[in-house]
Structure 1
Amino acid sequence: MSALTAALIPVFGVIALGWLLRRTRLVRAELWGGVNRLCYQALLPALLFSTIASADYDGLQAGPFLIAVTLGFVVMAVVSLALKPLIADGPAFTSVFQGGVRWNGFVLLALAAPAFGAEGAALAALVFAPTVPLINVMCVAVLSVWGASDRAPDLKQVAWRIAANPLILGCLAGLAANLSGLFQDGVIADTIALVGRAALPLLLLAIGAGLDFSALKARPRLLALAVALKLIAAPLAFYALGLAFGVEGVALAVLVAVGATPGAAAAYVLASEMGGDARLTAGHVTATTLLAFIAMPFWIWLAGG
């Protein structure tokens, strides 16, 4: 068994356990929202801070890597927009667009350290800072134009939500600590690291609990298109950009893995709030989560990881 497969099996095993816990009602459905909020507001920012603050970025290809990964999401937005003439249904198009550009970084964070080591984990954590605001702005803009909601988005509120995003703040605080040399060891650093270690198991359980297999029947052709964008077009675009910017080794493998991650549950929330096709989005998240177990190893292998 390869190191990558050995790292993937526990990740998807915990996701499957989350689905089983909700399916059997051992954990009540209404409790999962609280788990998600706890992870998003506190545990994951602590993990990102701890990982970035303690990382040694000397010798890493952090600059070319971040340029390539940011441009990768821009390219996927352009590709998705180019498909609009083929999709007359505006709300359905917004879900296809979100399917092409949103990524589930939590799966990659859980995979990065065992598969790629400390270097890969540091790069995976770094991706959140530039991409979270970029992706949210693009998705809100598309939903504002083609979503079915009669309510105009509150741009000030959207801007505040992005600026105050706990994931972005965790990344920025980690970078500040890394550059200043503060909180890299000692009691405070150990406390933050301990809090962060609780994030990934809970997040993976919540991802599994959110899987909706009945949604796989919604708009099968559009669902297939959205899945192809996420698991074929996106990793290919990220791989090409990595080669163009001279990214190689572990950094290239992580870059391609970013492209091959499954869709994010946040897309469903945004689709529900802003008039997207929430059912199609739920199907996309479920399908890509299942198929990523095959797609991620293939693309990482292709990148030489």
Structure 2
Amino acid sequence: MTHRIAILGASGYTGAELVRLIATHPDMTITALSADRKAGMAMAEVFPFLRHLDLPRLCKIDEIDFSQVDLCFCALPHGTTQEVISALPRNLKIVDLSADFRLRDAAAYEKWYGAPHKALDLQAEAVYGLTEFYRSEIASARLVAGTGCNAATGQFALRPLIAAGVIDLDDILIDLKAGVSGAGRTPKEMLLHAELSGGTHTYSAGGKHRHLGEFDQEFSKIAGRPVMVQFTPHLLPMNRGILATVYVKGDAKTIHQTLESAYASEPFLQVLPFGQLPSTRDIVGSNYCHLGVIGDRIPGRAVVVSVLDNLNKGSSGQALQNANLMLGLPETMGLTLAPIFP
């Protein structure tokens, strides 16, 4: 059976990445693509790298016949997605790539996103989309909320360590570097080549980054008590990739063994031998996350490094991994292409 797929917000980076991945998926076909300002255009005009594909033209959302759609990906900006999804058929399977349904607590959503949630019934229904830790819930879900790309990178490094009690929960620091595609395709002065190239800078520092809401929610749930991490993101002049350097208190070899054991059967999570650290160049264009652990010169401290592609494992690849589960397909289907190098 070929499953019919719609992608809302197909003119953005995550929408284009979904198209690229689904194009070679054996059990999915794209039947509808939406955009706002670019409605009526061919996808090849918006993204020439996809011109070899036979794709439907971009259209407005209200022009899509959702009775002919089995699963819908929403790659729309946060704040608008909740209203869009509220208007979709209640039997339609949906994977949302925005931030609108990631936080279970309505007050937490308002705190981090600055406005009351407008679809509380859907928020209560949504399953958090970190596939490796919510598989069974995702498989039976109708609405899945994809994680933030930064949040996913940090969680892969820390969740097993918190669960196993092998680190000090009151002394966790995440220093993260991200490529510019994570900021989306909307033109911004700070992302101009002359403004960004040749340097780097912190952003949303001092506990202001919205993905902290996900860290607070997920880490506290695992620990059974409040856990607050220090988190400082930086923007690098590269297109794709995230590298999180996580500083923790604990025995480095025990930490490595804990991650190795937790991810031994995970197809997309690769733990390097102890003492080796990964690079973003090794995961570009793929659904893989690589992790490494080293000890520090200060006894009882360790460094965990986690890398992934923000547009793939951090967003669209994760969304497709979730969609496979929701449709009863093998989880890895369409996602095992090797990374691109150089």
Using the size of structure 2 for normalisation, the TM-score is 0.25
**Larger proportion of strand:** 2
Which of these two proteins has the greater Rg computed from alpha carbons? 2
Q: Which of 1 and 2 has higher RCO (CA within 8 Å, sep 6+)? A: 1
Using the size of structure 1 for normalisation, the TM-score is 0.27
